Amino acid sequence: MLKGTKRFSLLSVFIILAIGVVFGGIITYLTRDISALNWLNIGYEFGLKQPLMLDLYVIKLTFGLTANINVAVILGTVVAALFYRFVF
């Protein structure tokens, strides 16, 4: 590697973005009752509403995934990405 170049780690990018999503979720939770910040909670929830169940008699598997994307989560992700860009 050349001197002065930054090492790119996909794992560190994933961790920083996951922290941003969690931070955005916390902001969503804290601002849900404040009418002036209600615009942060505008978003959409998508995924499997009913879990997918697979019964193989010996073992039962249940799959389910939902995501709640809103303005606060997007802002948290952008802030985390900027943090990663300028700090690392």
Which SS3 state, helix, strand or coil, does residue 49 take?
coil
Q: Tell me the pLDDT of the chain (88 aa) as tens digits.
A: 445 445 667 888 889 889 999 999 999 999 999 999 999 999 999 998 899 999 999 999 999 999 989 999 999 999 998 988 887 7
Of 30, 24, 10, 31, the closest CA to residue 71 belongs to 24
pTM, two decimals, is 0.74
Rounded to an integer, what distance in angstroms lies between the CA atom of residue 6 and that of residue 13? 13
pLDDT at 21: 93
Q: Spell out the domain ranges in the chain.
A: 11-87
- Element holding 47 (H helix, E strand): strand 43-47
